[in-house]
Every structure is written in C-alpha cells, then in structure tokens.
Amino acid sequence: MAKHEKISEAVVRRLPIYLRYLSYLQQNEVTTVSSQQMGKNLDVNPAQIRKDLATFGDFGKKGIGYDVNYLVEKIRQILKLTEEVRVALVGAGHLGHAISNYNAYLKDNMRIAAIFDNDPGKLGKEVAGIPIQPMDELAKTIPDKQIKLAIITVPASAAQSVCDLLTQAGIKGILNFAPTTIRANKDVRIHYADVTSNLQSLAYYLT
C-alpha cells in the first residue's frame, strides 16, 4: 500500500462514497461491478474511479470489472476501518443531537462512544443512549475509551478551546461543524464540515 502522504485528499474523500455504493451492492448480492456502472451510479467519471482505485493496487480485471467483496475489504483496509474507530462528540445542542441520532448509521466499525457538553442542565441526560458527560471528564474518558476522532458541534467562539482539550487528550482527527477556523498540531487532521463552507464550494459550480 502506498504511503498516505502521496494520496490526495480528493481521493480519500471519494473512497467512502465508493464504499457505501459497494456495500449496497454487497447487500444485494451483486458480486462484480465495472467502473462504468460505478461511475453512472455515483456521478463520477469511470476513468477517475479506475485511477483512484489503481492508487492502492491492481484491483480490477479488464472486461470483468471489480470483485465487489474484495474491493469492499480493500477499501475498508485503506480507510483503517478493520478495527473499531471510536468517536467523541463535543456540544450536545441541536446539531450534536441530530448527529448523535445518526449514530445508528455509523457503520463499518465506527461509533460515537462519548458525548460532552459544558451545560450543567444537560449532564446525566442521554442522547441516542449515550450519557452526556461534563467537559472536565474529557481528558480522562478519551484515552480510557481509546477514542481517536472527535466531532465539534459547539458555537464558533468555543471551538478552539474545545479543539485544544481534544488534542491534549489524544484526538488525532477532528470533524469541525463550528463555522470557524481552528488550529492544532501537525499530527492532527482537521476537516471542515460546516454548512457555509460546503455551500460556498457548491456555489462555485453554478453557471
């Protein structure tokens, strides 16, 4: 497998989309799929799909296509989903609640394992069966539960201090829904998921 430094973020962002479609095929007992068929269903150029998958090795067979089970397994390996990945969520407001309730959809060995909020009124309550813990338990709970990823759904003004607490506790990847820029050490990966940024990217494609 190639080193991840050499693989573009765009490819890494497409792999989960491929995985979801391939898992759907798997559930429907489809065993083989061509890049043409994948491209048509995912609105991605088939040549792009072949190129993306070739980055990681020689998966396909000319004239036959990809073995669905094999490709699912490979992409899961590449995305490091072969072991359970635990996620913390900080900020149990509307957005935090909505995301936690999506927990059921977090497939492929990924689950929200802890929720934190600084509102004393929320402590002891549960979201999607997960208790809301106070912020001062974060530093202990995250290493104890071996949580590596975190979702930030606090207001923009609190996002940086939450980011600092998370990285000090050992978090290596953050999905930031707060509409603000946050900073962390180089070994921490930050992805922005806020709606404004996403919509602005989309606006670019309007003609």
SS3 content of the chain, % helix, strand, coil (to 5): 45, 20, 35
Q: C-beta of 17: minimal distance to a second copy in Å?
A: 6
> CA 132, 163, 151, 74 torsion: positive or negative?
negative
Contacts of 182 (CB under 8 A, 6+ apart): 152, 159, 160, 163, 174, 176, 190
Residue 4 touching a second copy (CB under 8 A): yes
Looking at 33, 72, 99, 162, which residue binds a second copy (CB under 8 A)?
99
Whole-number Å distance between alpha carbons of 171 and 164:
10
For residue 91, say whether it is annotated as part of any ligand binding site.
Answer: yes
For residue 57, say whether it is annotated as part of any ligand binding site.
Answer: no
Residue 197 touching a second copy (CB under 8 A): yes
CB 9 within 8 A of CB 55: no
Residue whose entry in the numeric block shows the structure tokens 């969520």: 89
Q: Which helix (H) or strand (E) holds 115?
A: strand 110-116
Q: C-beta of 183: minimal distance to a second copy in Å?
A: 6
**Stretch of 61-69, 92-100, 114-122, 131-139 contacting a second copy, by CB under 8 A:** 92-100
Looking at 31, 36, 101, 146, which residue binds a second copy (CB under 8 A)?
101
Whole-number Å distance between alpha carbons of 132 and 122:
7
CB closer to a second copy, 23 vs 69: 23
Size of the site for a second copy (CB under 8 A): 69
Burial class (CB in 10 A: 0-12, 13-18, 19+), 113: buried
Distance, C-alpha 191 to centroid of its chain: 9
Looking at 32, 42, 59, 139, which residue binds a second copy (CB under 8 A)?
42
For residue 173, say whether it is annotated as part of any ligand binding site.
Answer: no
Residue 163 touching a second copy (CB under 8 A): no
Looking at 138, 142, 149, 166, which residue binds a second copy (CB under 8 A)?
149
Residues at the site binding a second copy, with contacts judged by CB under 8 A: 4, 8-10, 12-13, 15-17, 19-21, 24, 41-43, 78-81, 85, 87, 93-95, 97-99, 101-102, 105-108, 110, 148-149, 151, 156, 172-175, 179-181, 183-184, 186-187, 189-207
Going by the annotation, the residues of the binding site for NAD(+) are 91-96
